[in-house]
Structure 1
Amino acid sequence: MNAIDLRTNAAKKLKEKTSHPLQFPCLLGFDGFVDYIIRIVDKKISKENLTFIPSISAFAERLQRAAGKSSNIELRMQQVKLGGNGPIMANAMAAYGLPITYFGPLGVPEIHPAFREFAQIAKVYSLGEPAVTDALEFEDGKILMGKHEALDGIDYAMIAASAGEGNFESLWSKSKFVGMVNWTMLDAMTAIWKELLSKNCPRLPANERRVMFFDLADPEKRSQEDILEAMHTLAKFAEYYTVILGLNEKESDQIAAVLGIENGENTPETLQQRAAAICRKLNIQTTVIHPVKYAVAANQKETAYVDGPYVAKPLISTGAGDHFNAGFSLGTLLELDLSSALLTGVSTSGFYVRNAKSPSVPDLIEFLNNWK
């Protein structure tokens, strides 16, 4: 099939699979940020008449010129919103109509205003005050400047206690989808995984299909030993779940290097080979890699590649990857084929960066049928 036929086919399958309310309880965690979306002023004629620095390279040049001197940088707040890989992904999945339970630092004793709408469409268990991200957005990417101290104390005991030990066990066992993201910023995440594997997974009901999604979230600052331990730990969940490892292009470079998989020039063909190699190396069911303009995936049987609805000047880019993850996870939950699951991913992300909001399933179907 050509690209248009693939999209039309994916939209048709999605419509068929969502003709009834989605009955897949989902549990996600364990981060939480308030995102301040910021543009950097380039030229200012008046309060209303100004331009923004267009690219990361142009910003770097501005900073370079200030070396040994000083510089005044004006930041313009564009939006304050819920943030963190987990809340953004969970919020996107809630927009599809999926029942969501979320564990993360969303504010105490009251839920932070940035998460209040989310808390109305999901069952949330707050683990403390949220962390903060200043997201500097450019036409060619973004720089995320985080204050992460709020994540330091999050561990298995805190998560289980927030719901009550027995209630957490029940929520875990009933969930048909689990998403655990932002491994890089949660120092205890590998330890959390180990406790889940020893305490909760062995009690899961047998012969039920479940999906689990992992996103490491830019592990560059973590040691090779830590990354390897995380990889081998998450692979153990494949005994109980259909495991998906989600990576952007840069993360796939890093994971391939750590696992001893040959890295060459990144193309749709070579990234499909890399995704398949990661699946084989870890013995997990699925690996998905999403560069900016396209996405690839592999399972133990096949690989797939689709182009995405790239837009040169997105309305928002922070959270685009999390929306891709939500869309691909939806496609996997609905047991769509690999190409169709990729298309639900790139279409969810494409809708989001154009509209600065998460799509409903009807929005997603319309976008699949009509994107240009």
Structure 2
Amino acid sequence: MDYRKKALQELSEKRSNQAGKRVVVGLDGFVDTILHLVDKRSGPGENFQRLATISDFGSRVSAAAGKSANIEMFPKMEKLGGNGPIMANAMVSAGFPLRYIGSLGKPNIHPVFQEFADKTQSISISEPGLTNAIEFTDGKIMMGITKYLEDITYDAIVEALGEEALLEELGSSSLISLVNWTMIPNMTQIFEDLLAKALPKLPEIEGGRSFFFDLADPEKRSEQDLVEALGVISKFQEFGNAVIGLNLAEGQQVSKAYNIAETGEDPESLKAMAAKIRQKLGLKMVVIHPKERAACATEDGEWCVEGPYVQNPKITTGAGDHFNAGFMSGQQLGLSPEGCLTVGVCFSGFYVRTAVSPSLDDIEGFLKEW
């Protein structure tokens, strides 16, 4: 059976498994300004030809060496951002009761997060970061200010929520998603504190508890920091099913750190990369998702599916977070690994076409048409 038809059948049969599932997501938060760069302007507003590719932008910048350049940034939209809020927003759209803990504004919630905060009963522990997301047809460049994320610590979380309330929230959740390790300087210590102070006190939960991690482009962190963090993440497997999601660049960086000779993005290379990283870390599952396809590995095998790639997306910022939301939604419903991958690429595919987070009904419709 075609993997899309199989995923549609699984999704239809297992939608009822959503009952009783609860999710906690954190810990970042960014105010995202989506930007296009102007190449040639012919009038006001959007009457311009954009710098379409990263190569075009690089050439313009390189040509300015020893001189100067003035490049106009045109704001397409301002929206909530950060790996956590985008993933959480997508899982809420999919129908999961969810509590968000992160950097959404302090002492007051930033206006861009207000609706999100209301529907997720958010706990904010710091001011948000700021991101200028410069989009191109072949990728994006994220220019971020992360100073306030230094205030995110385990003690700050306990102070904002209360230790008893934190344990109750974690204890009732079937999925705990902790994302954006790269941008949160204290995240490895937060992992350690959760392992030592919180997780041993949590009750068992029917169907087991899952943990999801997203590194969020660790290139700016040292290899030593990366290996240390991954070692700590592997300890979460003692308390449930630990899953790590990686885009292609992240997968390649992790492979390099562990001397794994797999860097390709073809299906077989992706499956091998996922399998070797999973084996190295001892995790339940490793997922790798380039733009065109996605692969995952468990102790039972490896799978890869092609995605519904679109040449001219409406938006790309947040596509990976939507994949993560879709994949973990499938995992929470009890779909097969291949089914989880298929739902993941559909979440991403729907979002980049519409700039809207899908419901599970939307995903069923998307699968029927794809």
User: What is the TM-score of this pair, normalised by structure 1?
Assistant: 0.96
**1:98-109 aligned within 5 A:** 98-109=96-107
Residue 169 of structure 1: how far off its partner (Å)? 1.1
Which of these residues, 3, 6, 21, is aligned with residue 3 of structure 2? 6
Amino acid at match of 1:197: L
1:1-372 aligned within 5 A: 1=1, 5-19=2-16, 22-47=19-44, 48-206=46-204, 208=206, 209-371=208-370
Cα distance in 2 for partners of 1:21, 1:224 equals 38
In structure 2, what is the Cα distance between the partners aligned to 1:146 and 1:319? 15
SS at structure 2 position matched to 1:15: helix
Give per-residue Cα distances to partners, 1:148-197, cap 9 Å, x unaligned: 00101210000111111111111111111000000011111110011110
Amino acid at match of 2:316: S
| CA drift at 1:270 | 1.2
CA distance in 2, matches of 1:73, 1:295: 35
Q: TM-score, normalised by structure 2?
A: 0.97
Partner-residue secondary structure (3-state), 2:75: strand
One-letter code of the match for 1:24?
K
Shift in Å, 1:290: 0.2
Q: Give the letter aligned to residue 105 of structure 2.
A: G
Give me the whole-angstrom Cα distance separating, in 2, the residues matched to 1:31 and 1:351. Answer: 24
Q: Which moved more, 1:189-198 or 1:17-26?
A: 17-26
Which string of whole-angstrom CA distances, capped at 9 and with x for unpartnered residues, describes residues 198-239 of structure 1? 111111223641111000111111111111111110001001
Q: Distance in 2 between matches of 1:128 and 1:251?
A: 27
Q: Check whether the contact 1:22–1:97 (CA below 8 A) recurs between aligned residues.
A: no
Does the CA-based 8 Å contact 2:90-2:357 persist in structure 1? yes
Percent identity, please: 46
Which AA in structure 2 matches 1:18? R
Superposition CA RMSD, Å = 1.2
Q: Can you list the C-alpha shifts for 1:58-99, whole angstroms capped at 9, x where unaligned?
A: 111111111111111111100100000001001110111101
My pick for the range that moved more, 117-126 or 260-269, is 260-269
Give unmatched runs, 5+ long, in structure 2: none
Distance 2:152 2:205 in 1: 32
Q: CA deviation at 1:108?
A: 2.3
Secondary structure of 1:18's aligned partner: helix
Distance 1:223 1:280 in 2: 22
Task: Give deviations 1:218-263, integer Å, cap 9, x for gaps.
Answer: 1111111111111110001001111111000010011011122123
Task: Rate the CA distance shift 1:22–1:314 in 2: closer, same or farther, 3 A.
Answer: farther
**Kept after mapping to 1: 8 A contact 2:125/2:151:** no
Deviating more after overlay: 150-159 vs 103-112: 103-112
How much does 1:21 deviate?
5.7
The 3 A distance-change label for structure 1 pair 214 and 21 is closer
- Do the aligned partners of 1:23 and 1:98 also contact (CA within 8 Å) in 2? no
Distance in 2 of aligned mates of 1:125 and 1:113: 15
Q: Counterpart amino acid of 2:20? A: Q
Q: Is this contact kept in 2: 1:41–1:75, CA < 8 A?
A: yes
One-letter identity of the residue aligned with 1:213: F
| Residue 22 of structure 1: how far off its partner (Å) | 3.7
User: d(CA) in 1 for partners of 2:165 and 2:216?
Assistant: 29
AA of the residue aligned to 1:331: G
Letter in 1 for 2:10: K
| Shift of residue 366, structure 1, vs aligned partner | 0.6
State the SS of the aligned residue for 1:107.
coil
Aligned-partner residue type, residue 114 of structure 2: R
* Deviation, structure 1 residue 15: 2.2
Structure 2 contact 219–253 (Cα < 8 Å) conserved: yes
> Once the two structures are superposed, what CA deviation does each residue of 1:335-359 show, in whole Å capped at 9, x if it has no partner?
1111110001000000000000100
Deviations 1:31-83 (A, max 9, x none): 01000000001111111521111100011111111111111111110010000
Range moving further from structure 2, 291-300 or 101-110: 101-110
Structure 1 gap ranges (5+): none
Given that 2:129 and 2:147 are in contact with CA atoms closer than 8 Å, whether structure 1 keeps it comes out as yes
What is the rounded CA distance, in whole Å, between the counterparts of 1:110 and 1:254 in structure 2?
Answer: 37
How far off is 1:12 after superposition?
A: 2.2
What is the SS of the residue equivalent to 2:265? coil
* 1: CA distance, partners of 2:101 / 2:18: 24
Shift of 1:110: 2.3
Q: SS where residue 287 of structure 1 aligns?
A: strand
| Paired residue total | 368
**Amino acid in structure 1 at the alignment position of 2:73:** L
How far off its partner does 1:16 sit?
2.3
CA change 1:20–1:203 in 2 (3 A) is closer
